[in-house]
């Protein structure tokens, strides 16, 4: 699932000259947050060693996270917000040192917003395997340099285990709510099923109960796009003498993903057959506006993400299956006890609404009975990040339930 940037929400057909100027210059070998970079609003917690579901082991894990609001005396007002595939801990707030873009959900988290930080204590961690301060492939390993492709395979359950360790370190016995969308929604559902005694409410937004063959196939070609870039260098690109990283492969993967985050109708209506710079004759070197749009966002993505981390997180998405070793999906859903909001996007072609309908039908505590809350949006999968008023209204219902 996409990490939303402000310009993605503006229904314009063209990238502006200012946008283009912002992309001048070669991207760094990695867009990961590195030691010595401004920390911004990040806090850090070392949660110790983590044994992984598939037999791997991380000797030391650090979680980067941000908080807003005040934890009350009995620690009962804490809400955990979990980001999507290429997101981070900066859920809300302006851009600044350490945070080149504004918060990805500022319309829903903050004073007076649906998740009101005057009332709730909000915690947002960067997930395990990420590249914005939490231990991941760009972090230094016991060998004295970046983990790179030596970073072990992690699953959605491993990421939730790391979040659980952070929860314990923060002294939070139970979350009032765990809220997540897309990959974060996979994690919030895993919380509800795997740790029902640690949360009272859960929001599963635009996420499935398990990754299906179609989604795994889409992810596999993105992974291959990164690995086929000669500058990927088997994942050992961090100290390249010329600073060259797998920019082309990572940008291509991003462009592929973006097509799954948006609906065909939105792209057709937004761009039609327009050209980037006025009307340009066919065969005269012009570019369709939609091509420029994809190229711009692919280029921008390489400046804030790490290629190894992208592979790690996409593979974690592929691992998602709440029914694994639990007797299947329906048996796993029956374990949940939290009040639940299950929300889907009618035009979502990444995780179509039948995914959410299945969860809603079998998830105990669903505030809508056996129905999912389906949003009628033309924005596709990214609708849960863009349709602020509608999504915010549903979040309010859950928190008040």
Catalytic, out of 348, 377, 382, 394: 348
Q: 44, 98 in Cβ contact below 8 A?
A: no
HEC string of 300-315 equals HHHCCCCHHHHHHHHH
Among candidate residues 89, 139, 182, 347, the one labeled active-site is 182
DSSP state, 29? S
* Annotation says 306 is catalytic: no
| Residue among 90, 195, 297, 381 flagged as catalytic | 381
Query: DSSP character for 336?
Result: -
Helix (H) or strand (E) holding 164: helix 156-169
Distance CA 55, CA 47 (A): 19
Instruction: Give the burial class of 281: count Cβ atoms within 10 A of its Cβ; 0-12 exposed, 13-18 middle, 19 or more buried.
Output: exposed
Question: Is 90 assigned a catalytic role?
Answer: no
Catalytic site residue 381?
yes
As a whole number of Å, the CA-based R_g of the chain is 20
Query: How far does CA 69 lie from the centroid of its chain?
Result: 22
C-alpha pair distances (Å), 175 with each of 69, 80, 184, 334, 399: 14, 7, 16, 20, 12
- Within 10 angstroms of residue 394's Cβ, the number of other Cβ atoms is 21
Indicate which residues carry an active-site annotation.
Answer: 182, 348, 381
């Amino acid at each position: 699932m996409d990490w939303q940037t402000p310009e993605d929400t503006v229904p314009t057909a063209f990238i502006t000259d200012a946008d283009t100027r912002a992309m001048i210059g070669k991207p760094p070998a990695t867009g990961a947050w590195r030691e010595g970079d401004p920390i911004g609003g990040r806090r850090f917690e070392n949660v110790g060693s983590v044994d992984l579901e598939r037999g791997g082991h991380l000797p030391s894990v650090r979680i980067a996270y941000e908080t807003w609001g005040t934890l009350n005396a009995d620690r009962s007002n804490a809400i955990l917000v979990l980001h999507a595939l290429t997101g981070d801990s900066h859920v809300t707030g302006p851009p600044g040192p350490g945070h080149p873009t504004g918060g990805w959900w500022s319309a829903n988290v903050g004073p007076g917003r649906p998740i009101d930080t005057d009332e709730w204590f909000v915690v947002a961690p960067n997930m395990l395997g990420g590249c914005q301060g939490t231990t991941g492939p760009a972090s230094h390993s016991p060998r004295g340099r970046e983990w790179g492709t030596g970073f072990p395979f992690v699953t959605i359950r491993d990421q939730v285990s790391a979040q659980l360790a952070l929860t314990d370190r923060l002294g939070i016995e139970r979350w009032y709510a765990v809220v997540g969308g897309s990959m974060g929604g996979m994690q919030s559902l895993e919380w509800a099923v795997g740790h029902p005694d640690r949360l009272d409410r859960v929001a599963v937004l635009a996420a499935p109960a398990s990754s299906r063959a179609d989604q795994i196939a889409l992810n596999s070609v993105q992974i291959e796009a990164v690995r086929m870039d000669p500058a990927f260098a088997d994942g050992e690109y961090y100290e390249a003498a010329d600073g060259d990283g797998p920019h082309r492969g990572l940008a291509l993967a991003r462009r592929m993903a973006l097509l799954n985050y948006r609906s065909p109708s939105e792209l057709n209506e937004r761009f039609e057959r327009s050209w980037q710079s006025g009307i340009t004759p066919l065969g005269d070197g012009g570019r369709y506006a939609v091509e420029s749009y994809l190229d711009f966002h692919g280029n921008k993505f390489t400046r804030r993400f790490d290629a190894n981390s992208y592979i790690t997180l996409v593979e974690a998405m592929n691992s998602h299956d709440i029914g694994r070793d639990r007797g299947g999906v329906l048996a796993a859903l029956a374990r949940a006890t939290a009040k639940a909001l299950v929300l889907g996007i009618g035009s979502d072609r990444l995780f179509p609404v039948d995914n959410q309908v299945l969860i809603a039908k079998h998830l105990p505590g669903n505030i809508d009975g056996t129905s999912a809350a389906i949003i009628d949006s033309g924005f596709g999968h990214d609708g849960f990040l863009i349709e602020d008023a509608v999504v915010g209204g549903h979040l309010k219902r859950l928190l008040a339930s």
